[in-house]
Amino acid sequence: MKLALTFFFALALNAFADLAGSRPNIILVMTDDQGYAQMGCVGHPWLKTPNIDALHDKSLRFTRFLVSPTCSPTRSAIMTGRHDLKNGITHTILERERMTLNATILPQVLKTKGYSSGIFGKWHLGDEEAYQPHKRGFDEAFIHGAGGIGQAYDCSCADAPDNKYMDPVIRHNGSFVKTHGFCTDVFFTAALGWIKQQKDSGKPFFTYIATNAPHGPYTAPEKNAKRFTDLGFAKEQAGFYGMIENIDENMGRLAEKLKEWDLYKNTVVIFMSDNGTTGGGPGVPGKDIVPGYPFFNGDQVGLKGSTDEGGVRVPFFIRWDGHIHPGRDIKTIAAHIDLLPTFAALAGAELPKNQVEGRSLLPLIEDKAGNWEDRYLFSHVARWPTGVEPNTQEFLNYGVRNQRFRYVGPRAAGGNPKKKKQAAAQPAKGALYDLEADPYQKTDVSADYPEVVQKMNTAYEAFWKEARPLMVNETAPMSPTKPFWELYEKQQKSGGIPDWAPPAL
């Protein structure tokens, strides 16, 4: 019996050996505006997400995983390993969504260790050619433009003209193709086809599936929306929740193929969202969507676009069968800036010099962190009007977080310059929350801990001084043209937009 137990423990130690340098495949699925609470596994009372719930159960979970208040900032932090303001990202449009070209980004880091990288869905870090993912290390790029399918603004940020969620035109490695089906289904199909190719090649791969769902406009496949319209939901709400249930169906497709292709043993699978859930479209906080179906955000304060916990906390499930113990919740704060150093550690790749602010999460994942040093994480809603000096916005709409506390700085109005001016003249008071004792931000304890407020603000001031010179898009002129529109028109004239042939799976 003793020999049998010794053999068992030896097997266990071998199965859960050090992960650094093991070069697994990496699949990162990130949804858009879903937030933390819009899943059954974290308590949503009526959304049905059985496949995401199953991934949750088979994963290690970071329960305090933090991102930026909006989408482009989060995406840039994942790509660079540093806070978004230092990537030049201070908006999601108006040339300020373009990720600085003076950064080495994630696929470029992984390529040094033989990885192929593919992106499927939303890029949103610059629509001008030099900023496109197929120019920045991705071997496969299957994306829409702007921040959403069909979006267009008076700048370079624009998707293909008149694009729709159903049968969208997609830019595939620099050329447009016409797809057939709902966008999320199309993105997963393209990703699965590429994963199959990589499996057969034997090279390690990084697959980034970045859905634009459930971002507005709130349009879901009819079969997914119908469940909600039958319950009395309006079209927009049915669209939002139907999109989430459609995402769940595609997570099921992904799980089935990974099992069929025997990839779970050497593939890390991660599920997350890009910021807190949105309001309005999916319902109004504090009110029933229809009788018996209340808007649900897990009792969190804040939505997308705020520096409250509800604006920046997202799910983060990580599964790797035989290597990561499932069912464990990690309460230590982690963040988007940690993904590049974590993936680099898995690949055995060196980090870009003088760039990365995040930490490898492998010590936490392996339960070998010991005395994990506390740190400050910074967020800012940004989005100030074009032409405003950022230094005038430093102490508005910002947040500072460490393991115990969240400081939410004075708030200002959104994109309206007049309201912004009024808010700047009479800013609301900042507030400090002890999230270990008060996870839902009920009580401002700034008067009880003035020294904490001071330390957090001192750290934030130092961060801002570093970030301000790196806000490289602030004086960029608005592009007179929309690159996706120009390229689309040129391709139409030279040969047309071919139908995309879905891969055989």
Residue 412 has pLDDT above 50, yes or no: yes
Percent of residues, the chain, with pLDDT higher than 90: 91
Token pair for 308: 């409250």
User: What does the pLDDT read at residue 427?
Assistant: 54
Q: Which helix (H) or strand (E) holds 189?
A: helix 183-201
Residue 93, classified by CB atoms within 10 Å of its CB into exposed (0-12), middle (13-18) or buried (19+), is buried
User: What does the pLDDT read at residue 421?
Assistant: 44
Fold adopted by 377-470: Arylsulfatase, C-terminal domain (3.30.1120)
Residue 337: Cβ within 10 Å count: 26
* 97-100-101 Cα angle (round to 5): 130
- What is the residue type of 388? V
User: What does the pLDDT read at residue 44?
Assistant: 97
Q: Mean per-residue pLDDT for 341-346?
A: 98
Question: Is 387 in a helix, a strand, or coil?
Answer: coil
Token pair for 39: 């899943």
Kindly tell me the sign of the dihedral angle through the C-alpha atoms of 50, 363, 380, 310: positive
Q: 305 or 427: which carries more pLDDT confidence?
A: 305
Task: Confirm whether pTM is higher than 0.85.
Answer: yes
User: What does the pLDDT read at residue 10?
Assistant: 38
User: What does the pLDDT read at residue 413?
Assistant: 59
Kindly tell me the sign of the dihedral angle through the C-alpha atoms of 452, 84, 117, 195: positive
User: What does the pLDDT read at residue 415?
Assistant: 43
Q: Give 202's pLDDT tier (boundaries 50, 70, 90).
A: confident
Q: Mean per-residue pLDDT for 485-497?
A: 97
pLDDT digits over 55-83, tens only?
A: 999 999 999 999 999 999 999 999 999 99
* 442-446-448 Cα angle (round to 5): 100
Q: Mean per-residue pLDDT for 349-377?
A: 97
Q: Which letter does DSSP use for residue 383 in this model?
A: -
Token pair for 184: 């999320």
User: What does the pLDDT read at residue 280?
Assistant: 86
Q: Mean per-residue pLDDT for 238-244?
A: 98
User: What does the pLDDT read at residue 17?
Assistant: 57
Residue 491 has pLDDT above 50, yes or no: yes
Residue 154 has pLDDT above 80, yes or no: yes
3-state secondary structure 321-367: CCCCCCCCEECCCEEHHHHHHHHHHHHCCCCCCCCCCCCCCHHHHCC
Q: What is the CA radius of gyration of the chain?
A: 22
Q: 10 or 130: which carries more pLDDT confidence?
A: 130
Residue 418 has pLDDT above 90, yes or no: no
Q: Residue 416: CB partners within 8 Å, gap ≥ 6?
A: none
Residue 426 has pLDDT above 50, yes or no: no
Output the average pLDDT for the chain: 94
Distance CA 25, CA 191 (A): 13
Residue 439 has pLDDT above 70, yes or no: yes
Greatest alpha-carbon span in the chain: 77
Distance CA 35, CA 409 (A): 21
Domain spans in the chain, listed from the N-terminal domain onward: 21-365, 377-470
Q: Is 3.40.50.2300 the CATH number for 21-365?
A: no
Q: Residue 455: CB partners within 8 Å, gap ≥ 6?
A: none
Residue 422 has pLDDT above 70, yes or no: no
User: What does the pLDDT read at residue 429?
Assistant: 86
